[in-house]
Chain A
């Protein structure tokens, strides 16, 4: 029970040892069920203290990361999906060529980008960026919300200047697209 088809897993280029370890972990998290839901992540004690816990858990259920055609959030994921998410974190192998390496890097960065872009519209707007910074700094009780916002504003301006260079005072900067994200 619970052994996923080996052929499709191998295409993710994770070693069999790692697959076994992750499978054990999956069973632990899912309490021997075939799928896990968001609630199952509550059983991980250390994750509680992570300021961006919400975004991390969300990333597991994000359909864009699961390489599915549709958009939005999945209700539950099975072991194959779990492995798909984990495979974003595998290290570079020595025998990759330039093109593979580039694709690999882009995939990892896309995963990060999806974490920032919470409304799935393909760009990181100022509001989303502010949200990220607020979450990051949520561990500091003394910090006012305003400081977090001004930091986000400053960072956004930096990103804009990198991506678009000098802009006139009337130009509007919509948000950071994935291409801009790569540049940054």
Chain B
């Protein structure tokens, strides 16, 4: 295939002695090539595949020694692998290895990670803490950016360090790109330490929302650096730009999210490509936002959060599983690649070392972050129902990790305007390495030492759901009585609007959904599957008698057989009661007899059968269960 169409076989072809001529009219023909090697033809996809394969193999390698990932987060190990690779390439070719292309990062590697995070974000917790998250993201990042910028400028003024040629604006730009907390790094580190959900959502939400302000500040200062004079109007333009970037991004995301939900309403005939729509629409929202220089991260997050609820009900169970796993796989690959590339790109000649600049950058990053979190928390605690303690504040400050986003942003700086670009690159790399390695490794022991509240992944229980719903209604009711338009009031209003208009429009078979009922059904189904798998059903009379029953050959039973059957049934009923942990059978009411208990059990099985019939995929996959229940 490679040698057809007469392309160059020159250097690539092997096993031929005669160089063929381009025109083909030469007097020496080419012989048939028995074996050829044509690398340039497949170079790009080949290299991509090799990189991804290498990254995944590295991941397997880490988990072979099972204690390693719990001490050192994977991100560190991946960067080390990258460093090693970079060193090899550098040693072999004597030139700097391929730097991670910023386009590749922003257009291909970052979206899957943000999509995965946004799709599975606990929306309720996010909106409950939205004020705090927004406060930290916007004001916190501004505080950090300006603080770091100005203090670094102060340091640059000291002529002993040799930094006097870096202007205030350049320092401010540097401050703005290094102050952003990075979602990729936060995810990579927080994933293993399992702090309570509230803390996690605060740090992670901040890392997502601060993209808007980072984009604005970065572009603002970059343009300012290139402009001769700066007028007041430009500053106002900057502020206006912030609102447009943030709100515009979110609007694009929400719009495309609704379109995606609407599309999935009609996909019931072509289930196979349902997952594709989810990915296409989210990616579309990201690149549309990037096209207008709006915040792509906020767009894709908004799209994923909007889409989630409605798509989940429209697509089949299998499509949902596909979406979930494919998303996780993509984001995992992206994350691995990002860290390896960061390691690779570090090696090389892109550096300029200056003790003062680098060390003060690191110092100011830490100081301003800690100060910022402390001051901002004092202010926001006044407005919060559950105030944030010192422990929480410490973890929020310590969890402010920098990562690949500032790395890519620094590579995007135009060298003409920034003659000291290499210095910036070095400083950014030092800060990233410090936060990822030192903070990443030590945060786990610190969390344990400070006894921070951890997330408890317990079994979801129906009674818990009931209490939650009950209390929601109580809170909303009390807010109504007070005449207070609080959080619960707005959430309730949104729910009503959602039920009345949105769900009717976007969901195919719209039935009023109750979280209690769906949780109960889910648990019952899981319960039944567990029981079937644990072999309890096999204690029931053998399959021979089953097949007899099925074919209608019902022989009349003798009294002894009846007795046996009754005995088996009672014994098994008792064992079912005995072994099921959360659904222990007890006499519920004061006068419950054995009969009533059995009746309750049988009634529950009846409703389970109904729910089994309703979910198509389950009944398709487990016909055995259906017929067994029939027998029961």
- Judging by beta carbons under 8 Å apart, are A157 and B473 in contact? no
- Contact between B477 and A167, CB atoms less than 8 A apart: no
Q: Known contacts A56-B474, A91-B385, A143-B514; decide if A47 and B480 are in contact (CB<8 Å).
A: yes
**Quick check: A139 and B582 within 8 Å, CB to CB?**
no
Kindly state the interface size class of chain B when it binds its partner.
Answer: 35 or more
A residues 138-170 touching B (CB-CB < 8 Å): 139-143, 146-147, 150-151, 153-161, 164, 166-167, 169-170
The CA-CA distance from A22 to B479 in the complex, in Å, is: 11
Cβ–Cβ < 8 Å partners of A166 in chain B:
584
Q: Which of A25-49 contact B (CB under 8 A)?
A: 25, 28-29, 41, 44, 46-47, 49
Counting CB contacts under 8 A, is A68 at the interface?
Answer: no
When the two chains form the complex, which single residue of B463, B474, B482, B574 contacts A159, counting CB atoms closer than 8 Å?
A: B463
Q: Is A77 an interface residue when CB atoms closer than 8 A count as contact?
A: no
How large, as a class, is the contact surface on chain A? Answer: 35 or more
Are B588 and A49 in contact (CB-based, < 8 A)? Answer: no
SS class of chain B's interface: helix, strand, loop or mixed?
Answer: helix
Cβ contact within 8 Å between A161 and B470 = no
Closest to A172 in B: B587
Which residues of B lie under 8 Å from residue A41 when comparing CB positions?
481
Bound CA span A164–B588, Å: 13
Whether the Cβ atoms of B586 and A172 lie closer than 8 Å is: yes
A40 to chain B, nearest CB (A): 10
In the bound complex, CA of A125 to CA of B583 (Å): 17
Whole-angstrom distance between the alpha carbons of A158 and B582 in the complex? 5
Are A50 and B592 within 8 A (Cβ)?
A: no
Q: Which residues of A are found within 8 Å of B475, using beta-carbon distances? A: 89
Instruction: Tell me the complex Cα distance, A151–B520, Å.
Output: 7
Q: A137-B516, A160-B584 are in contact. Are A92 and B386 (CB under 8 A)?
A: yes
Complexed CA–CA distance, A166 and B462 (Å): 19
Contacts of B607 in A (CB 8 A): 146-147, 150
Nearest CB of A to B225, in Å: 45
Looking at chain A's contact residues, the main secondary structure is helix
Known: A22-B482, A140-B514, A142-B511. A157 touches B474 (CB 8 A): no
CB < 8 Å: which of A50, A142, A173, A184 contacts B512? Answer: A142
| Complex contact B480–A44 (CB within 8 A) | yes
**Would you call A161 and B584 a contact (CB within 8 A)?**
yes
Interface string of B465-496 (1 = CB under 8 A from A): 01001110111111011110000010010001
Q: Which of A5-13, A98-106, A126-134 contacts B (4 or more CB under 8 A)?
A: A126-134
Smallest CB–CB gap between B467 and chain A, Å?
8
A174 in contact (CB, < 8 A): yes
**Is B445 at the interface (CB under 8 A from chain A)?**
no
Q: How many Å lie between the Cα of A141 and that of B281 in the bound state?
A: 35
Q: Does B387 contact A (CB under 8 A)?
A: yes
Tell whether A136 is near chain B: CB-to-CB under 8 Å. yes
Task: Select from chain B the residue with minimum beta-carbon distance to A156.
Answer: B588
Pick the contact of A157: B387, B476, B584, B589 (CB < 8 A).
B584
Is B466 in contact with A136, judged by CB distance below 8 angstroms? yes
- Of B386, B476, B496, B588, the residue contacting A153 (CB under 8 A) is B588
Does A25 contact B584, Cβ atoms closer than 8 Å?
no
Most chain A Cβ neighbours within 10 Å, of B475, B477, B517, B524 = B477
Q: Does B566 contact A (CB under 8 A)?
A: no
Contacts of A137 in B (CB 8 A): 514, 516-517
Q: In the bound complex, how far is the Cα of B387 from the Cα of A157, in angstroms?
A: 36
- Assembly CA distance A171 to B512 (angstroms): 38
B273 close to A (CB within 8 Å): no
* A47 touching B477, Cβ below 8 Å: yes
Write out the residue numbers on chain A whose beta carbons fall within 8 Å of the beta carbon of B577: 169
Q: Is the CB of B589 within 8 A of A125?
A: yes
- Listed residue (A115, A141, A155, A171) with the most chain B CB atoms within 10 angstroms of its CB: A155
Interface string of A47-76 (1 = CB under 8 A from B): 101111100100000000000000000000
Nearest residue, chain A, Cβ from B499: A139
Nearest Cβ distance between residue B493 and chain A, in whole angstroms?
A: 9
Bound form: Cα–Cα A151–B473 in Å? 19
Q: Is the CB of B604 within 8 A of A169?
A: no
Are A157 and B582 neighbours in the complex by a CB distance under 8 Å? yes
B residues less than 8 Å from A173 (CB atoms):
586-588
CA distance A121 to B489 in the complex (A): 33
- Interface presence of A182 (CB below 8 A): no
Within the assembled complex, what's the spacing in Å between the Cα atoms of A65 and B584?
A: 34
Q: Which residues of A contact B524 (CB under 8 A)?
A: 154
CB B385 to nearest CB in A, in angstroms, measures: 5
Give the CA-CA distance A167 to B604 in the complex, in Å.
Answer: 20
Taking CB atoms, residues of chain A closer than 8 Å to B480 are 44, 46-47, 50
Closest partner residue, chain B, to A184 (CB atom)? B463
* Cβ–Cβ contact B483 & A28, under 8 A: yes
Interface assignment of B438: CB less than 8 Å from any CB of chain A: no
List residues of chain B with CB within 8 A of the CB of A140: 512, 514, 517
Q: Does B600 contact A (CB under 8 A)?
A: yes
In the complex, which of the residues A52, A151, A157 contacts B470, with contact meaning CB atoms closer than 8 Å? A52
Q: Is A19 an interface residue (CB 8 A)?
A: no
| Structural contact, A153 and B604, CB atoms closer than 8 A | yes
Per-position contact with A for B255-275: 1 when CB-CB < 8 Å, else 0? 000000000000000000000
Nearest B residue to A44 by beta-carbon distance?
B480
Complex contacts, B584 vs chain A, CB 8 Å: 157, 160-161, 166-167
Contact of A155 among B386, B463, B585, B586 (CB under 8 A): B463
Give chain A residues whose Cβ lies under 8 Å from the Cβ of B385: 91
* B509-534 interface (Cβ within 8 A of A): 511-512, 514, 516-517, 520, 523-524
Q: How far is the CA of A89 from the CA of B475 in the complex (A)?
A: 9
Query: What is the bound-complex CA distance between A146 and B517, given in angstroms?
Result: 12
A143 contact set on B, CB distance < 8 A: 514, 517
Within 8 Å CB of A21, what residues of B?
482
11 residue pairs bridging A and B, Cβ less than 8 Å apart = A46-B480, A47-B480, A92-B387, A112-B474, A136-B466, A136-B470, A147-B517, A150-B600, A153-B600, A154-B524, A172-B587
Further pairs besides A22-B482, A92-B387, A146-B607: 20, Cβ < 8 Å:
A25-B482, A50-B480, A51-B473, A52-B470, A52-B474, A56-B473, A86-B482, A94-B387, A126-B589, A132-B470, A139-B514, A147-B517, A147-B607, A151-B462, A153-B588, A157-B583, A158-B461, A164-B586, A167-B584, A173-B587
CB-CB nearest 5 A-B residue pairs: A155-B463, A56-B477, A172-B587, A46-B480, A161-B584
